[in-house]
Amino acid sequence: MTPHLFVGPWGARFAGRRFPCAVGRGGIGAKRSEGDGVTPAGAHRLEALLYRPDRAIGRAGARALRGGRAIGPRDGWSDDPADPAYNTAVSLPRAACHERLRRADPMYDLVGVLDWNRHPVVPGRGSAIFLHLWRRPRRPTAGCVAFRGADLVWILARWTPRSRVIVTGR
């Protein structure tokens, strides 16, 4: 049986365990636009794993999933709907609006890139929807799903290519 990560306003469930998590400040639902703070409802694939090789939780996540791509000092993610590279990984510096992936805080030490608005990319529909580490327990995100570091590593260690992130408002 393929384990799926179920996420709702109550938290998350994966492989028979429950986890506290944080979702977008706009709640869970139909994502309408860039910056709305909504975590998009639906079934999402984990497309890629990014990690900080200089931080313990990043290395643990890379080992858990047996791979991934190291986040370097020039790595970013475009969140500018006018940018031809919108909702993709980009190299910094960059004139267009973007998120820096290599941060001083641990939030992006371990990142699972979800397939939201990726194939095809629709400018303005929302970008950078990730699984990542939370800032504080249950503190809302900009639309991502965030976990305690040890919990995200545990989930990724049991992830399969057929697993999905299933986000529901119920």
Write down the catalytic residue from 21, 44, 98, 144. Answer: 144
CA distances from 93 to 55, 100, 102 (A): 23, 10, 13
Q: What is the DSSP string of 103-165?
A: -SSSTTSEEEEE-TT-TT--TTS----EEEE-SSTT--BSS-EEE-HHHHHHHHHT--TT--E
Write down the catalytic residue from 21, 44, 98, 132. Answer: 132
> Do 37 and 140 touch, CB atoms closer than 8 A?
yes
Residue type at position 85:
A
144 is catalytic: yes
In angstroms, the CA 96 to CA 87 distance is 12
4 is catalytic: no
Q: At residue 56, what are phi and psi to the nearest 5 degrees?
A: -60, -45
Active site residues: 132, 144
